[in-house]
Structure 1
Amino acid sequence: MTTLEDGDMHTLSSELPAMFDGMKLAAVATILYVIVRCLNLKSPTAPPEITYQDTLLSRYLLKSCPMLTKEYIPPLLWGKSGHLQTALYGKMGRVNTPTPCGVRKFLPMQDGATATFDLFEALGDHSTGDDITMVICPGIGNHSEKNYIRTFVDHSQRQGYRCAVLNHLGALPNMELTSPRMFTYGCTWEYAAMVGYIKRAFPQTLLVVVGFSLGGNIVCKFLGENRSNQDRVLCCVSVCQGYSALRAQETFLQWDQCRRLYNFVLADNMKKLILSHRSSLLGMSSSNIGDADLSRLYAATSLMQIDDSIMRKFHGYSSLKEYYEKESCVHYIHKVTVPLLLVNSSDDPLVHQSLLGIPRTLSEKMPNVIFVLTQHGGHLGFFEGAVLFPQPLTWMDKVIVEYTDAICHWEKTRPGCQTTGQQDMNSCLQNTRVTLSG
C-alpha cells in the first residue's frame, strides 16, 4: 500500500494553486478564442469588391462615390459578425431613429385590395435643383414605420428627395385586408400602383427606385416586366436581395451560417402575420385559402412550407416551383437598362454565396450595372462606429444617397453623346470587364 509522506503532501499542496491557475488560463484562452472566432475579429476591413464594365458612366460613378472604393469599417467589437449585424438590424433596426412626418395614401386595386404608401416631402432643394422622388420598397413584411426605413427616409429628405414608401399588403399593424390577398415574394401590383400615382401627382418629378431585401427583388422585377416602367426612372438601387427564390430554396434548408434557424424565425414571423389576417383570408368568398391550408400553416417550420400552403395560392400558381420561377427577378433583371446598383454583403447569413454569381455575371455583361460586395455588413445591417456603439446612419444609407446624387448630376451634365437615354448610353459604353477587390 502506497502512502504519502508529509513532504509529498506539502509538495502537492504547493502545486495545486499553479494547476488551478493553469486551468483558469486555459479556460480564459478558450473563451477568448471562441469570442474571436464568433465575432470574426481577425477579419480585416477592406474596400468593397466592385464588378463593372469600364464605361464613361462607371468611371464617373466611382470617382463621384468615394464610399464605394474606400474601406467600410464596422464597429470594432461586433461589427465583423454578420450574425450580430443582422440581429441588431432585426431587433432594433437603427439607433436614435428619427420620426419623419408623412401622409398615408390609399389606392384601391382592381381585385378589391387596398394598397397603401406613405409620402414624405423633401426638407430642402436637391443639389441639382430638380424634383426627384425616391420610390422605396421595404423588406419582407415591412412598411414605412420600420426603423431602418425611417432612418433612410429622413436622410434622403434632408438631401432634397421626396420619398414614397410602399407598405406591403397586410404588413401594417391594425389595418385590415380588403381582399383575400397579401404581399408575395415578387408581386409588383402595389408597387406599380404607387409609382403610377407619383407619376400622375408629380408630372415633373424624376424617379429613383430603391428596394431592400425582398423589396429589391420586387423593384428589379417591376422595371424588367415592361419597358414603360423605366420611363422617368433615373436609376435603381437594390440592397441585400437573393435574386432567385428557386435557387435560394435549397440553401435555406442548410445549417451553415445558421440559415435553417433564420428560416424558422422568418417563418414564425410570417405565420403570425398571416394569422393576424385569418378572418379576411378565409372569410371572403373569393378566397383560395381553405381550412386544410390553414392546418398546414400551423405546422409549418419554414418559409417554403408557408409559400406552398398559402402564398402561391394568392395568385393561383400550380406549384411552389412555378411560384418561385415566376416571382423572381432573375428572369427580368437583364431587361433593366437604367443605371443599376446591386449591393450585397459576403457575410449575409440569409443570402448564400452561390446566389451572388447572378449579380456578378450581370455586371460583367451589362454596362449599366455595378455590383458591390462588402466583406462585412450582414443582412441590411451595414452599421458603422468606432468600437461598440453604432452611428445612427449606416454605410448603406450613405451609399444609396451618394450614388443617387452622382446619377442625378450625371444626368444634368453628362457628355454630349448621352443625350437621349439608354440607346445612346449603350452605344457610348465600352465593354471591358473590371473587377476591383480590396
Structure 2
Amino acid sequence: MKKLFSPPWWAVSAHIQTILPVFFKVDKPEVSRQRQELVDGDFVDLDWVGEAVNGQPILVILHGLEGSSDSHYVRRMLQTAKDNGLCAVVHHHRSCSGEPNRLARSYHSGDTQDIHFTLSQLKQHYPNSPLYAVGYSLGGNVLAKYQGEQGSNSVLDKTVIVSAPLCLAACAKKLENGFSTVYQQHLIKQLQEKMQAKLAESHLASKMPVTANEISNLKTFHLFDDQVTAPLHGFSDVFDYYKRASGKPFLKNVQKSTLVIHAQDDPFMTDEVIPLAEEMSSHVEYELHQNGGHVGFISGGVPWRPTFYLESRIIQFIKG
C-alpha cells in the first residue's frame, strides 16, 4: 500500500476535501456527444474529448451517483487526458446526460450491463486500441463489479477505481448519521425529482413501484433503494440489492491490472469498504490514504485555487 497523497494544512478536513472541489470546477474541454441505442429500447450518451483512432488508447470515464461529464472530477480528468494527448469518453449512466431515459428503470450501483455494452462497442470499433477506465464513487463500484465478473475476459487493460462504496449496506448506514446526512439529503432530493418526473408520464407511472406521495417519504438511501431501486431493477429487496451489487466481493476475481483508491476519512463510507489482502486478487493494487474525503484528494495550492492528486496518479498508473 503506497502513501503518495498528503493534504495541505488547510484541507485536512474530510468535508473540505469533499465539498470545496465542487466550487472550483475547471473549464470542460469541448465534447462531442454520441448516443448509443440499447437493446431494451433505452439509450446511454457518451461524451468524447479527442478523436478516437484505432490503435491509440482510449480512456473511459464513469461518473458517480447523479454525476455527468460536468462533474468537477470528470472535468479535471477530461482536461488532463487532453493535456496528455489521450482520447477520453464519458459513459453516462441512464438519465444522467441531461435528458431523461425512456424506461421506468434507470441505473444502480451494480449495473454492469450498460458499461459492458459500451466497452464491447468500443472494442468492436477500435479493436487495436488499449482501453483504460476510471470510475468514481458509484461508477467505481460498477467497474469493480465488471472487472470481477469478466475476469480475464475484461476488455479493459487497466482500471482505476476511486472512492467506491464497495460495501453498499455499510455506506447507506453511514450516510444516515452526523454531517454525512447532508450529502444524503442532497442526492436523495435529485433522485426523488427524477422519479417524480417519471410518475408524471402516463406511460411510465403504471410501471413505477411507488406513487408520487410515497416518493417524498423516502428520505434515506435505505428506504429509497428498498422501495424504488430494488424493485425497478429486479432485486427482491434492499438487502438483496446491497448484497448482489456491492463491488467488494468481486475484487478477488479481477484478472486485469486495477488500482483502487480510498480515503479513510471518506464521509460516505466506513472501514467495511476496505478490502483485506485475501479479498483481492494479485492484479489489484490498493491505496488507502488517511485523508482525501470523497472524490476529493486536494493536494496543494490555495483554497481559492486548489490542486489535486487524482489526475496525475491516474495518468501515472495507466501509462506505467
Aligned to 2:217: 299
Structure 1 unaligned spans of 5+: 1-49, 51-67, 407-438
1:203-251: CA deviations, max 9, x gaps? Answer: 11011121100000101111222346413x2211100012121333333
The reply to whether residue 74 of structure 1 matches residue 7 of structure 2 is: yes
1:349-375: CA deviations, max 9, x gaps? Answer: 11112322x255535xx3222111122
Mapped to 2, the partners of 1:154 and 1:323 lie a distance apart of 35
Deviation, structure 1 residue 262: 2.7
Q: Would the aligned equivalents of 2:140 and 2:164 in 1 still touch at CA under 8 Å?
A: yes
Structure 2 unaligned spans of 5+: none
Mapped to 2, the partners of 1:247 and 1:268 lie a distance apart of 21
Aligned length: 320
Q: Would the aligned equivalents of 2:251 and 2:284 in 1 still touch at CA under 8 Å?
A: no
Mapped to 2, the partners of 1:202 and 1:168 lie a distance apart of 22
Within-5 A mapping of 1:224-303: 224-227=148-151, 229-231=153-155, 233-255=156-178, 258-280=179-201, 283-284=203-204, 288-290=207-209, 292-303=210-221
Within-5 A mapping of 1:25-424: 50=1, 68-70=2-4, 72-77=5-10, 79-89=11-21, 91-92=22-23, 94-95=24-25, 97-121=26-50, 131-173=56-98, 175-227=99-151, 229-231=153-155, 233-255=156-178, 258-280=179-201, 283-284=203-204, 288-290=207-209, 292-356=210-274, 358=275, 360-363=277-280, 366-391=281-306, 393-406=307-320
Larger radius of gyration: 1
TM-score by length of 2: 0.91
Cα distance change of structure 1 residues 294 and 332 upon mapping to structure 2, 3 Å threshold: farther
Question: Counterpart of 1:343 in structure 2: which amino acid?
Answer: I
Question: Counterpart of 1:84 in structure 2: which amino acid?
Answer: I
Question: Counterpart of 2:28 in structure 1: which amino acid?
Answer: T
Cα distance change of structure 1 residues 387 and 104 upon mapping to structure 2, 3 Å threshold: closer
Cα distance change of structure 1 residues 313 and 323 upon mapping to structure 2, 3 Å threshold: same
1:166-203: CA deviations, max 9, x gaps? Answer: 11111222x13222221112111221221122111211
Q: Would the aligned equivalents of 1:122 and 1:157 in 2 still touch at CA under 8 Å?
A: no
Query: Higher helix fraction: Structure 1 or Structure 2?
Result: 1
Pairwise CA RMSD of aligned residues? 2.4
Percent identity between the aligned chains?
21
Mapped to 2, the partners of 1:69 and 1:331 lie a distance apart of 24
TM-score by length of 1: 0.68
Q: Would the aligned equivalents of 2:167 and 2:247 in 1 still touch at CA under 8 Å?
A: yes
Question: Counterpart of 1:243 in structure 2: which amino acid?
Answer: L
Deviation, structure 1 residue 387: 4.3
